[in-house]
């Protein structure tokens, strides 16, 4: 299982997209001064329906739930030179599940990004190096831990309505239980299309290769391919297994702006994971499919 700071990731992704439409250099007056600083507050509140919170592959083990979330972020931008700037973000938030309350969590952390843009011409890409750290405190003790991520990205305006974003990253999660200690490498591609003055359609694909976690009833097939497994403290009678595999996360969404500081984001995320190994006697692999339907309201102060 890949655990996401779901609406946090959504907020950061949309913020990055908006930031990419801005020039790095600011106004002529700011250029003459030699620096640009900006500081604001961003908040979002969201609702999600998840049809497979166990990330299970058998119908009997697939459990659904709903959750509410709220997050607050504080981004800060500092122009370093004519072509570079530093962007840092601090973030706190939480998510509350309705039925399986052990999945509820509080989160906190931050990110830093070093950006380079060779000129202020519209079609000039922005290259970035980034690092992110997030801590999670669950009502499930086994899942408590930290997320670490580092990588490189590129933001490329294509037309005045279309922009592409791509990123490569290395991701680690260190949790109280070894089952939820995961490591993977990922590649992400995102397309934003401005449909109207207030509406943006976006499509993204995120491919991970490394560790996957799935939860279900004890299974000899899962035990044979698992690196480690343990009784789950959120789902009584079920075990969680960590094994090698790949995950594809596809997201289709639409962002509706209300003025310059409010927007509503509606999206569908489909997560498909496939195990790298399969016992010869097993009828199927430890693959699973999960659908998440999200709606979030974002505000800039």
Nearest to 154, CA basis, from 139, 162, 164, 169: 164
How many whole angstroms from its chain centre is CA 228?
25
Region 250-279: mean pLDDT is: 93
What domains does the chain contain, in order, with CATH numbers? Answer: 6-300 (2.40.160.40)
First to last CA, the chain: 35
Please determine, for residue 278, whether its predicted confidence score (pLDDT) is greater than 90: no
Q: How far apart are CA 237 and CA 31, in angstroms?
A: 62
Angle at 294 (CA atoms; ends 292, 299), nearest 5 degrees? 150
pLDDT at res. 92:
97
Decide: residue 156, CB within 10 A, 0-12 exposed, 13-18 middle, 19+ buried.
middle
pLDDT at res. 293:
98
Decide: residue 228, CB within 10 A, 0-12 exposed, 13-18 middle, 19+ buried.
middle
pLDDT at res. 31:
39
pLDDT at res. 39:
61
Within 8 A by CB and 6+ apart from 78, the residues are 35, 36, 37, 85, 86, 87, 88
Say if CB 55 and CB 215 are below 8 A apart. yes
Per DSSP, helices labelled H in 55-176 are: none
Within 8 A by CB and 6+ apart from 274, the residues are 245, 246, 247, 285, 287
Q: What is the pLDDT of residues 119-149, one digit of tens each?
A: 988 899 999 999 999 999 999 999 999 999 9
Please determine, for residue 33, whether its predicted confidence score (pLDDT) is greater than 50: no
Distances (CA, A) of 56 to 49, 207, 238, 252, 274: 16, 19, 10, 23, 11
Q: What is the pLDDT of residues 174-219, one digit of tens each?
A: 999 999 999 999 999 999 999 999 999 999 999 999 999 999 998 8
pLDDT at res. 259:
84
pLDDT at res. 5:
44
Q: How far apart are CA 210 and CA 66, in angstroms?
A: 28
Distances (CA, A) of 50 to 63, 93, 231, 276: 9, 19, 22, 25
Distances (CA, A) of 92 to 34, 43, 69, 72, 75: 32, 10, 11, 5, 12
pLDDT at res. 228:
95
């Amino acid at each position: 299982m890949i655990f996401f700071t779901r609406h946090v990731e959504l907020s950061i992704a949309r913020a990055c997209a908006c930031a990419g439409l801005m020039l790095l250099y600011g106004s002529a007056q700011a250029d003459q001064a030699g620096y640009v600083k900006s500081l604001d507050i961003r908040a979002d509140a969201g609702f999600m329906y998840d049809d497979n919170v166990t990330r299970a592959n058998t119908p009997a083990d697939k459990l659904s739930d709903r959750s509410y979330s709220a997050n607050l972020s504080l981004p800060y931008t500092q122009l370093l030179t004519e072509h570079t700037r530093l962007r840092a973000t601090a973030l706190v938030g939480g998510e509350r599940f309705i039925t399986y309350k052990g999945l509820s969590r509080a989160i906190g952390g931050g990110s830093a990004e070093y950006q380079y843009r060779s000129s202020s011409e519209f079609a000039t890409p922005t290259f970035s190096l980034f690092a992110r750290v997030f801590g999670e405190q669950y009502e499930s003790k086994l899942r408590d831990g930290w997320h670490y991520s580092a990588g490189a990205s590129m933001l490329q305006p294509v037309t005045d309505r279309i922009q592409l974003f791509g990123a490569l990253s290395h991701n680690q999660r260190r949790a109280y239980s070894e089952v939820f200690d995961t490591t993977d490498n990922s590649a992400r591609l995102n397309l934003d299309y401005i449909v109207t003055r207030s509406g943006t359609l976006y499509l993204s694909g995120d491919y991970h290769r490394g560790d996957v976690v799935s939860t279900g009833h004890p299974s000899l097939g899962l035990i044979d391919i698992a690196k480690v497994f343990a009784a789950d403290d959120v789902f009584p009678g079920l075990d969680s297994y960590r094994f090698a595999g790949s995950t594809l996360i596809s997201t289709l969404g639409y962002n509706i702006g209300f003025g310059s500081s409010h927007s509503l984001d509606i999206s569908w995320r489909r997560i498909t994971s496939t195990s790298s190994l399969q016992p010869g006697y097993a009828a199927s692999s430890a693959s699973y499919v999960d659908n998440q339907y999200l709606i979030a309201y974002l505000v800039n102060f």
